[in-house]
Amino acid sequence: MQNPYLPYPVRIDDIRIATEDKSLKTFKFVFLDPDDEDRFAFRAGQFAELSIPGVGEIPIGIASSPVEKGFVTFTVFRSGVVTTHLHNMKIGDIMGIRGPLGNSYPWDLLAGKNILIVGGGFAFTTLRSSIVYMLDPANRPKFGDIDVVYGARTPGMLLYKDELVAWEKRSDINMHLTIDAPAEGWQYNVGFTPPITEQKAPQGDENTYAIVCGPPVMIKFTLPVLEKLGYAHDHIIMSLENRMKCGFGMCGRCGIGKELVCKDGPVFTLDQINHTPREY
Amino acid sequence: MKLVSIDKKDWEKGIERLRPRYRLFGPIREKTYHAFQRLDEGQLPDLAFANTRLSPKDIVFPQSKAILECSLDETKADHHIMKSIAGDDTPQLVLGIRPCDASALTLLDLNFNTDEVKDPYWIQAREKTTFFGLACDTPQSTCFCTSVGGGPFDEKGLDVLLVDADDRYLAKILTEKGAAAMQAAGWQDESDANALLERRRGAAEERIRSVVHTDRLKDIDILRLHGAPFWEDISFACINCGTCTYLCPTCWCFDIQDEVHQKTACRMKNWDSCMYPLFTHHTSGHNPRGTKLQRLRQRFMHKLKYFVDKHDAGIMCVGCGRCVHSCPVNIDIRHICNLMNQYSTEDACEAQG
Amino acid sequence: MSEHIDRIRDIAQRLLAEGRVDMIVGFRKGTLPMMNEPCFIKTPTAVDQLVWDSHCGINLANYLVDRSETIGVIAKGCDSRNIVTHIIENKVDRDKIVIIGVPCHGMVDKRKIQSLADAEIEAVAEQKDQLVVTAGGNEMTVPKKDVLQENCRVCIHRNPVIYDELAGERTEEQSDVDRYADVHEIEALSPDEKWHFFEDLLAPCIRCYACRNACPLCYCPTCFVDESRPQWVGKGQDPTDVRTFHFLRAFHCAGRCTDCGACERACPVGINMRVFTKKLEKDCFEQYGWEAGLTLDERPPLDTYRLEDPQDFIK
């Protein structure tokens, strides 16, 4: 019987500063036992518990994509005890990863559909995983149009900038990058994510799904925009956060109503969320 | 089901035969109340008790347990690689658990032993433990097991049910584990006193005075119940301590905490409580249940509504009455369950004049 | 029911009817013998719900902080001293509290009463200073003074020290009590004996924090046991962590504790943790001449420094 509390040992292979204010870093981990990488096989949208012995664990969305082999990456915001400790670690340090956890974006449902992705700030991690997955030649034919609206305060706060720019040049994905206020050298949109979504996003219909990930204030103003564009509540997909410990549905703390965010989620449709108490 | 008669004169002898084979646990009087403890050499369980102050769940789900450890010494080859701390497989036998507490274990199974994921520490503890229950002849005023699918002579979760029949115990053998223990103890005299057992059961059930209604809980809309007007009134007295959750045999929430002792890191699993503000506190400072009302509502919505909706097992309560008896401010689950069960949006809030 | 209840209800009704308060904080009858439940009422017609008897040991000052309403609170001697402490510590605005003072004759300890009976107690009726206890179908009469809460037995501040309305005649204060008899007993033990005493005392603790949460003084938004940066105390059942919680909490209450007994009353496993706060209360009294919560005009000893403060602990 697999012990769900036991992390797979990993080594930090690379650390990149992800934003200009250094509050986010992208960590690349390599499994010490290559078989563990197979055991960790995940789907875009899932998360994992990054486990630092003697310090603690944190639930972080998986930023790398299932199609990227040999490593896994996570982009982590420095905020508390564990994330601060992680930010001070070095390449070569050993720690652990538990997972994959959570229910992932509903890829079976999304096959053959048009996808609108709306992301804000550093919630873009699992969205990156999803985009890389969809753009992979083996998968691209499975999906219709792909539109991405992604906004941050300034260009330096956008995650994965090099990749964003590369995607922008592609013809099989429509990127709508935006920043809050004009900045020198910025060639793309200027404005908050909700109004840019209103301007650039495709209409909602039977065949189009929206995946929305961002800070609460962005979500609050984006949802009415999506409704206006005709997206039904069961066509709006969101990923929630909550305080977690076990990550596999037993310790009881991440529950909202009868759903556990770590096991029944973190991905929910807006329709499901509207039928649960607002305690997240 | 085989019924065996254990002459009380053979009780101690049988226990001494069990001692080398099982780690024995039983109720022991500590100052002013009983608690389940490991029975020392020669120590017998004290069965003259209504129920223990704390439930026996900590025998299979300890309040604080180190589950993983590793060395932080970077000169060691396996530094920072956590390993599970193997528990021992020594068989355990719990003598005198009440039917309510035993049936609570079957509710805890729904959390710790699912199809998708299993807690190995729970599974190991459950598998190595045999439960000899003691039927209740004199339920207390706060007991309401019969309202929640249980009863003073209920058999759920037990391997053997003992009934005190004055000069003997009648032992109803319910499982193979129970049969093995009975054989080890040398308690083998078969009995046909089924009628006596049934009479005792009926008499005990008649003595249960608290009635709690749960029939409508499944049908009430979850958001309506969540938004009911009575939460403010019933949550006022609550002081958000962990008494109810820690004494409760069906509460399972736990925390995972790392501790470092010199160069060893260990990961602990500790009981936790939804009553504490820290339970849902995000690092960002956001707390979805930052107020007392939200936390108290969560406890009762979880036990009496979310659990009901999620599993087909009734409410997440076995009617043991410990929370009622020990709550420092007299928050009463019986009253709250009845309030919730009868709630409909046409009702005005009766609590406030 | 105590003779004060009619006055309490009249006062409460008047305060609500006149709009002087938004709510009254008091007790309503509990669902178990010997228990009352703290409650609030907001309309004059609801005052009949309020009760007052010898089972009102819970400290209602615990319910006053971090509220925006104007509150009328029923307060006995110790509760009123906690309200004084709240005001001095700026946790409560004097203008937003209307204190209904109730002179107290001592609250009873339900565990002491239960220990006198062989069966579960079904009912307890009060007849002046006697209790008529019904258990297992039998009745027995018990003098209240034999079953008082330990803190009430040695109380010397039964009358409210601050009030806006008084719900009864002032009662005579006890003068022949040795408040620190239990502390002296422990002080007389050898170091080994003391160690075993405290080990034994705290062994049953399950870290439920009922003592802390029942205490009006413990209002920190994040208690020291919950801090993580840095983490001061472990969260498991290691005895060192359990003892640290109790000792540190007692020190945080030093010079502030009114010995209301709410902590011991709340503890589900019957720990007499008042031995710690009593010791610190004795130290404050003997070293600084201080008793908590008696006046709004002086600051507590841990808040102030005088040149003549004793220094014999500096060796």
Mind listing the pLDDT tens digit for each residue in B248-294?
Answer: 999 999 999 999 999 999 999 999 999 999 999 999 999 999 999 99
What is the total residue count of chain A?
280
Strands (E), B8-90: 23-30, 33-38, 64-71, 83-84
Say which residues have a Cβ less than 8 Å from residue A127's Cβ, sequence separation at least 6: A117, A119, A148, A150, A211, A213
pLDDT at B346: 59
Q: What are the residue ranges in chain A where pLDDT is below 70?
A: none
Q: Kindly state whether B65 is in contact with chain A, defined as any CB-CB distance less than 8 angstroms.
A: no
pLDDT at B31: 82
pLDDT category at C12 given cuts 50, 70, 90 is: very high
Chains near C with 3+ CB pairs less than 8 A apart are: A, B
Q: How far apart are CA C171 and CA C156, in angstroms?
A: 11
Taking a C-beta distance cutoff of 8 angstroms, is the pair A190, A179 a contact? yes
pLDDT category at B352 given cuts 50, 70, 90 is: very low
Q: Kindly state whether A55 is in contact with chain B, defined as any CB-CB distance less than 8 angstroms.
A: yes
**Single-letter residue type at A88:** N
Tell me which chain C residues have a C-beta less than 8 angstroms from the C-beta of B239.
Answer: 62, 210, 213-214, 266
Tell me which chain A residues have a C-beta less than 8 angstroms from the C-beta of B272.
Answer: 251-253
Span B297-310, average pLDDT: 97
pLDDT at B347: 55
pLDDT at B345: 67
Span B97-113, average pLDDT: 97
Whole-model pTM over 0.90: yes
Tell me which chain A residues have a C-beta less than 8 angstroms from the C-beta of B72.
Answer: 53-54
Is residue C259 over pLDDT 60? yes
Q: Give the residues across from C38 on adjacent strands.
A: C27
Confirm whether the ipTM is greater than 0.90: yes
pLDDT tens per residue, range C150-160: 999 999 999 99
Closest to A6 (Cβ–Cβ): which among B68, B253, B306? B68
Chains near A with 3+ CB pairs less than 8 A apart are: B, C
Distance from CA of B33 to the nearest CA of C (A): 8
Closest to C40 (Cβ–Cβ): which among B32, B236, B324? B236
Is residue B109 over pLDDT 60? yes
pLDDT category at B348 given cuts 50, 70, 90 is: very low
Locate B242 and state its tokens.
């962990």
Distance from CA of C230 to the nearest CA of A (A): 9
pLDDT at A44: 97
pLDDT at C302: 85
pLDDT category at C306 given cuts 50, 70, 90 is: confident
| Cβ distance of B325 and C32 shorter than 8 Å | yes
Under 8 Å CB pairs connecting chains A and B tally to: 128
Task: Kindly give the pairing relationship between strand A146-152 and strand A174-179.
Answer: parallel
| Cβ distance of B309 and A258 shorter than 8 Å | yes
